[in-house]
Copies of this chain bind each other. A is one copy, B any other.
Amino acid sequence: MADAQPPKVLAFDVFGTVVDWRTSIAAGSAGYLDRIGRGDLDPAAFTDAWRSRYLSGMRAFAKSGRPFTVLDVLHREMLDDTLRAEGIDPATVDEALLQDWTFAWRRLAPWPDSVEGLSRLKRGFPIVTLSNGNIALMLEMARRGGLPWDAILGAEVTKAYKPDPRAYLGTAEVLGLAPGEVCLVAAHHSDLAAARACGLKTAFVARPQEYGGRAAPDAHLAQDWEWSGDSLIALAMQLGC
């Protein structure tokens, strides 16, 4: 669909699309597991279990009736649950260590093309986050990784977690734009499908290493997205930046 009208703003999914959560969290978790005497556990598997709780937690959040709670807090609850599933009682672990472990999600490293790709896209479009990460998390990640966002939007601003339609529609509203004037850039077909259902434009970036080379859980949801590339630099070229 290279003849699609260009959007007015590019809104980015971040976890997996811009940053490599699995490598960063596994590397950090290796150290934390060692410090709590559980160096026998596989840090990559621990990471996948933590992320799996995130994916189901986000889908279930709107229906739970729980008041909006920032992701830093949910990440900690999910860490506690992941530890319990391994037979570790989080109440026996040093509190400062658990908080630091939780904030590993603030310290995720960008994919190798992300900073250059975002910088190029920023020449042609405002670039904003449309992530489930809260503002403090996204701010620290951006400063560490050099991600040049024009604005940090998404869950905390709209008080809704993707794939809740309010996260997509609310972000367009805050921007003062119609949904079709915003393009979601994401590595996840499920996220793009939810955005398209709300009327947003869609751009897919392939991240085959997001799950360590295994297929993504939403691979079956692939569609013919307006734009598609294997890096943010490739998308920048397609969008004339």
Contact = CB atoms under 8 A, between A and B. Distances in A.
A27 interface: no
B135 A175 contact: yes
A174 B150 contact: no
Number of copies of this protein chain within its complex: 2
Interface stretch (A86-94, A151-159, A229-237): A151-159
Contact of A157 (B157, B175, B176, B177): B157
Given A143-B126, A150-B142, A136 B72 contact: no
A135 B156 contact: no
A139 interface: yes
A152 B126 CA distance: 13
Interface residues of A, number: 21
Interface string A167-182: 0000000111100000
10 closest Cβ pairs, A-B complex: A136-B176, A151-B152, A135-B174, A139-B151, A136-B175, A139-B150, A126-B139, A126-B143, A135-B151, A157-B157
Given A139-B150, A139-B175, A143-B150, 11 more contacts: A72-B176, A126-B139, A134-B174, A135-B153, A136-B174, A136-B175, A136-B176, A142-B150, A149-B150, A151-B151, A156-B157
